[in-house]
């Protein structure tokens, strides 16, 4: 088994950092200019998560590829952290968008496309009623609100290591390794009250109450789940079919069946967020795994890159919501002035009808299998202490021998040096991976030659670090 030499890793980071900076003078100059007008020098703080000290500035995208302002071409396997999963220029979406732009973009009135989209979402995911948002974050905010209205309960459960967007209550999953104390038997906790994160309340001598707050528990731990639910005050569990935000974490066999059984037993609603797991196929995992959510959310690639997201609800939830109807408006489903706009709906219809199809997934999933087979072979042949996992057309390699079962184990496998090195290494060789982990997503225009390119770079990377064949 290869032992990773830390001095070697540091040397390689230095070498690759130098190359990254030397080859991108224009991006560097723009990043310097941006410091004087943009917070943290970027239009969206997350754009600082890339390795290299400054982000590349994009000139244009085309299908599976990007060109930066210094003239470098990249195979883009980050794809806007899933927002660009349909490729950067999906022809059907572009055609629909161009047509709609000349007919008006936003009216605060429905267009006929929305009816087709609602029916198509029901066909794919099973839930009968839908609402449209601009971001998955907004869909999740609405989903929590609906769950609270319906159950008349406030606290929610999220999993340690999860992320569901810019949603204060759910951000605790990603931000913190603190687990609901009774589930873990420790005396520290975190919670959100009225949208404010309260941390270390015990440390300050303040008892968090049972009627507010977010409970963070470990994925794949059924005892912790039942303990947390048995207080009978939990509005909902918000989760992905498989976790994707601390790397891929697969559910144990039977975990989802128990999650569904226990949530029903304790009167808690189940929200399934397929924003990332839509990489699994046209119907995500909701139908294939028979997850039967009460509420469902999905965003990012659903309109080919035009900001759009959806929330679906079951017939029972809809019936309950009707009881809380105030005049014509259902307060809790929220949304915003621009939600469900004509442009979003035209883009979503075209994308669902022509891009996110069975045929597309057959192609991207088969290429992802090819990538994973290659990477797995090289890891094993060189005795690297790593592993690679695939989830539909998404794959991730991690710096541990075996896959983690929860967020805590996933965090333990983080290696910031290797993480930085691998991103620099791939960018310098024309490939973008997804920060903040080592994730790839395969776009429709990707070819077998692109996968060979990726796997050759991975092979070079391994040979720099390995002690030779096992
Ligand atoms: C599973 C999941 N849900 C929701 C979101 C929020 O998406 P957005 O930032 O587009 O609102 C994210 C973002 O990464 C996510 O990973």
User: From the alpha carbon of 307, which atom of ligand 1 is closest?
Assistant: 10
Taking CA atoms, 445 is separated from 66, 79, 227, 238, 303, in Å, by: 12, 12, 47, 33, 17
The set of residues, in sequence order, having a beta carbon less than 8 Å from that of 304 and lying 6+ positions away, is 86, 90, 92, 93, 94, 97, 347, 350, 351, 355
Predicted pLDDT of residue 172: 63
CATH code, 24: 3.90.1150.10
Predicted pLDDT of residue 1: 85
User: From the alpha carbon of 81, which atom of ligand 1 is closest?
Assistant: 14
What is the 235 CA–ligand 1 centroid distance (Å)? 21
CA neighbor of 393 nearest in space, from 366, 375, 357: 366
The alpha-carbon radius of gyration of the chain (Å, integer) is 23
User: From the alpha carbon of 276, which atom of ligand 1 is closest?
Assistant: 1
Residues 364 and 432 in one domain: yes
- Tokens representing residue 5 in the block: 């030499």
Predicted pLDDT of residue 180: 53
What is the 136 CA–ligand 1 centroid distance (Å)? 5
Residues 324 and 259 in one domain: yes
Ligand 1 proximal residues by C-beta, below 6 Å: 81, 135-137, 140, 163-165, 240, 245, 273, 275-276, 299-300
User: From the alpha carbon of 139, which atom of ligand 1 is closest?
Assistant: 11
Question: Strands 309-313, 129-133: parallel, antiparallel or unpaired by DSSP?
Answer: antiparallel
CATH code, 350: 3.40.640.10
User: From the alpha carbon of 274, which atom of ligand 1 is closest?
Assistant: 1
**Sign of the alpha-carbon torsion through 296, 169, 329, 234:** positive
Nearest CA to ligand 1 atom 14: 165
Question: Model pTM greater than 0.85?
Answer: yes
CA neighbor of 356 nearest in space, from 24, 4, 84, 7: 84
CA neighbor of 235 nearest in space, from 218, 207, 217, 212: 212
- Domain assignment present for 143: yes
What is the 172 CA–ligand 1 centroid distance (Å)? 14
Q: What are the contacts of 370-375 at 24+ separation with CB within 8 A?
A: 370/448, 370/451, 371/395, 371/440, 371/442, 371/451, 371/454, 371/455, 374/451, 374/454, 374/455, 374/458, 375/455, 375/458
- Domain assignment present for 425: yes
Residues 211 and 194 in one domain: yes
Residues 411 and 446 in one domain: yes
Nearest CA to ligand 1 atom 6: 165
What is the 215 CA–ligand 1 centroid distance (Å)? 20
Per-residue confidence band for 412, with pLDDT thresholds at 50, 70 and 90: confident
Residues 76 and 119 in one domain: no
User: From the alpha carbon of 240, which atom of ligand 1 is closest?
Assistant: 1
Higher per-residue pLDDT: 457 or 193 = 457
- Domain assignment present for 411: yes
- Tokens representing residue 250 in the block: 């697969």
Q: How far apart are CA 290 and CA 256, in angstroms?
A: 9
Query: What residues form DSSP beta bridges with 157?
Result: 215, 237
Q: Which domain holds residue 381?
A: 6-89+358-465
Average pLDDT of the residues in 310-334: 80
Residues 314 and 341 in one domain: yes
Helical spans, DSSP H, in 152-250: 168-175, 181-184, 222-229
- Domain assignment present for 49: yes
From 354, 375, 392, the end of a domain falls on 354
Nearest CA to ligand 1 atom 13: 165
Predicted pLDDT of residue 57: 98
**Any idea which of 45-54, 80-89, 254-263, 331-340 has the lowest mean pLDDT?**
331-340
Q: How far apart are CA 397 and CA 448, in angstroms?
A: 20
- Domain assignment present for 377: yes
What is the 298 CA–ligand 1 centroid distance (Å)? 9
Confidence check: pLDDT of 374 > 90: yes
- Domain assignment present for 470: no
Backbone angles phi, psi at 168, to 5 degrees: -50, -45
Q: Are 391 and 279 in contact (CB under 8 A)?
A: yes
- Domain assignment present for 1: no
Task: Count up the domains in the chain and report the number.
Answer: 2
Taking CA atoms, 360 is separated from 272, 289, 355, 399, 442, in Å, by: 24, 20, 7, 30, 10
What is the 83 CA–ligand 1 centroid distance (Å)? 9
Residues 297 and 394 in one domain: no
Confidence check: pLDDT of 186 > 60: no
Residues 100 and 68 in one domain: no
Q: How far apart are CA 67 and CA 73, in angstroms?
A: 5
Confidence check: pLDDT of 199 > 60: no
Q: How far apart are CA 183 and CA 166, in angstroms?
A: 25
The set of residues, in sequence order, having a beta carbon less than 8 Å from that of 257 and lying 6+ positions away, is none
Nearest CA to ligand 1 atom 2: 164
Taking CA atoms, 444 is separated from 63, 288, 374, 378, 409, in Å, by: 8, 22, 20, 25, 33
Q: How far apart are CA 380 and CA 386, in angstroms?
A: 9
Higher per-residue pLDDT: 334 or 63 = 63
Residues 302 and 430 in one domain: no
Share of the chain above pLDDT 70, in %: 89
Nearest CA to ligand 1 atom 15: 164
From 330, 354, 378, the end of a domain falls on 354
User: From the alpha carbon of 137, which atom of ligand 1 is closest?
Assistant: 11
Q: How far apart are CA 187 and CA 343, in angstroms?
A: 50
From 327, 354, 381, the end of a domain falls on 354
What is the 275 CA–ligand 1 centroid distance (Å)? 6
CA atoms within 13 A on the CB side of 324: 17
Residues 280 and 383 in one domain: no
Predicted pLDDT of residue 209: 46
Quote the mean pLDDT of the chain.
90
Q: What is the pLDDT of residues 98-140, one digit of tens each?
A: 999 999 999 999 999 999 999 999 999 999 999 999 999 999 9
What is the 162 CA–ligand 1 centroid distance (Å)? 10
Residues 57 and 96 in one domain: no
Residues 73 and 130 in one domain: no
Helix, strand, coil shares, percent, the chain, to 5: 45, 15, 40
Per-residue confidence band for 154, with pLDDT thresholds at 50, 70 and 90: confident
- Tokens representing residue 103 in the block: 């007919």
Question: Strands 65-68, 73-76: parallel, antiparallel or unpaired by DSSP?
Answer: antiparallel
Q: Are 251 and 220 in contact (CB under 8 A)?
A: yes
- Tokens representing residue 53 in the block: 């000290």
Query: What residues form DSSP beta bridges with 435?
Result: none
């Amino acid at each position: 088994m290869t032992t990773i030499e830390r001095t070697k890793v540091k040397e390689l980071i230095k070498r690759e950092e130098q190359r990254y900076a030397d080859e991108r003078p224009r991006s560097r100059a723009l990043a310097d200019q941006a410091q004087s007008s943009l917070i943290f020098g970027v239009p969206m703080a997350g754009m600082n998560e890339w390795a290299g000290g400054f982000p590349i500035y994009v000139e244009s995208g085309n299908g599976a590829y990007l060109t930066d302002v210094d003239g470098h071409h990249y195979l883009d396997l980050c794809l806007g952290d899933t927002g660009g999963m349909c490729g950067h220029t999906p022809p059907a979406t572009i055609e629909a968008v161009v047509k709609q732009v000349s007919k008006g973009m936003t009216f605060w009135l429905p267009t006929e496309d929305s009816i087709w989209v609602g029916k198509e979402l029901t066909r794919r995911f099973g839930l009968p009623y839908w609402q449209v948002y601009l971001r998955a974050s907004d869909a999740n905010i609405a989903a929590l609100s609906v769950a609270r209205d319906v159950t008349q309960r406030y606290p929610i459960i999220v999993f340690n290591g999860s992320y569901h967007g810019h949603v204060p209550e759910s951000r605790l999953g990603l931000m913190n390794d603190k687990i609901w104390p009774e589930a873990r038997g420790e005396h520290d906790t975190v919670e959100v009250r009225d949208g404010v994160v309260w941390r270390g309340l015990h440390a300050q001598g303040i008892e968090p109450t049972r009627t507010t707050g977010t409970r963070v528990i470990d994925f794949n731990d059924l005892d912790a789940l039942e303990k947390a639910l048995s207080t009978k005050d939990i509005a909902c569990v918000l989760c992905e079919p498989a976790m994707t935000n601390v790397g891929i974490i697969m559910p144990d066999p039977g975990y989802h069946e128990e999650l569904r059984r226990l949530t029903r037993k304790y009167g808690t609603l189940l929200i399934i967020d397929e924003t990332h797991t839509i990489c699994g196929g046209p119907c995500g995992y909701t139908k294939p795994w028979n997850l039967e959510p009460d509420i469902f959310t999905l965003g990012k690639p659903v309109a080919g890159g035009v900001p759009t997201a959806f929330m679906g609800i079951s017939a029972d939830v809809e019936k309950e919501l009707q009881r809380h109807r105030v005049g014509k408006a259902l307060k809790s489903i929220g949304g915003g002035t621009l939600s469900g706009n004509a442009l979003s709906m035209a883009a979503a219809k075209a994308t669902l009808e022509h891009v996110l199809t069975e045929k597309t997934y057959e192609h991207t999933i088969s290429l992802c299998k090819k990538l994973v087979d290659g990477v797995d072979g090289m890891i094993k042949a060189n005795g690297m202490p790593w592993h690679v996992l695939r989830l539909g057309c998404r794959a991730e390699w991690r710096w541990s021998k075996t896959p983690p079962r929860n967020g805590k184990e996933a965090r333990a496998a983080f290696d910031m040096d290797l993480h930085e090195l691998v991103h620099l290494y791939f960018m310098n060789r024309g490939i973008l991976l997804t920060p903040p982990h080592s994730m790839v997503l395969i776009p429709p225009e990707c070819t077998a030659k692109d996968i060979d390119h990726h796997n050759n770079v991975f092979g070079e990377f391994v040979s720099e670090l390995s002690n030779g064949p096992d």
